A and B are shown apart, each in its own frame.
Chain A
Amino acid sequence: MFSHVMVGADDIDAAKKFYDACFIALGGREGSVDPKGRVMYIKDGSIFIVTKPIDGQPACHANGGTIGFDVDSPEMAEAWHAAGLANGGTAIEDPPGIREGAGMQMHLAYLRDPAGNKVCTMKRMG
């Protein structure tokens, strides 16, 4: 359903450091910087992009918004979380682990990126 998702950041270098580490933990690669200075990550048929806002105003994260990435296993999620924390991310919500929600068990791990965008990994269990 999703072609791509783009998030805003004022400090693209800090964002690249964070997302490079996170995507490598997911089995992806470092981002490439396009001619407009945006960092692009292409994986499994979809695209994640970090950009400075084109209106020249400061970036701000959404209240109520989260972007969830696929992971193969809880171990991969924990590696993603640790990589993010070591590269400028902030741990939020409960620590990575299994939670019950909407009638199913999910392994979830949550971080804020250096610009404050809320990101998580999700793996449905069982």
Chain B
Amino acid sequence: MLNHIMIGSGDIEKSKSFYNAVLGVLGAGEPMAHVNDTGQTRLFYNHDGSTFSISEPINGEPVNPSNGSTIGFKCGSPEQVVELHDVAIANGGTSIEDPPGPRDGSMGVMHLSYFTDPDGHKICGIHRPG
């Protein structure tokens, strides 16, 4: 269902360094960089059939994270959920919500970790057992 998700970046090199480390945990490679017709640099991480992309805002206004939004990345194990979080924190992310671990959700036990990226976007790692 999700073809791609794009987020805004105020510092594309900082975002690249952050997401190379974080998405590297999931096995994603280096992003493809592209400068669009209006001069904004974008990074495209193609991995596992979908695309995560980071862009300088095309309207020239500052980036602002959405309140209420989260992007959840699939992790292969509870350990990877923790690793995703720890690598994010080591590369300029900020830990938020409860510490990484299992939680009871509306769809059973899930392993979750939450952090914000250097621009303040809320990201989580998630593993659903079984």
A interface vs B, CB < 8 Å? 1-9, 26, 28, 34-36, 41, 43-48, 51-55, 57-70, 101-102, 115, 117, 121-122
Contact = CB atoms under 8 A, between A and B. Distances in A.
A64 B68 contact: no
A44 B106 CA distance: 19
B62 A68 contact: no
Nearest to A38: B106
Contact of A5 (B58, B65, B71): B71
Given A48-B2, A60-B64, A63-B62, A2 B69 contact: no
A59 B67 contact: yes
Contact of B68 (A43, A59, A70): A59
A64 B2 contact: no
B103 interface: no
B8 A43 contact: no
B112 to A, nearest CB: 10
A62 B7 contact: yes
Contact of B70 (A6, A63, A66): A6
Interface residues on B, range: 35 or more
Contacts of A43: 1
B113 interface: no
Given A60-B67, A115-B68, 11 more contacts: A1-B47, A5-B2, A6-B68, A6-B69, A64-B55, A64-B58, A65-B5, A68-B4, A102-B44, A117-B69, A122-B4
Interface string B34-53: 10100000001101111110
Given A8-B68, A53-B68, A68-B6, A48 B1 contact: yes
Contact of B69 (A55, A62, A101): A62
B66 A59 contact: yes
B25 to A, nearest CB: 12
A34 B106 contact: yes
Contacts of B55: 64
Contacts of B66: 7-8, 59-62, 65, 117
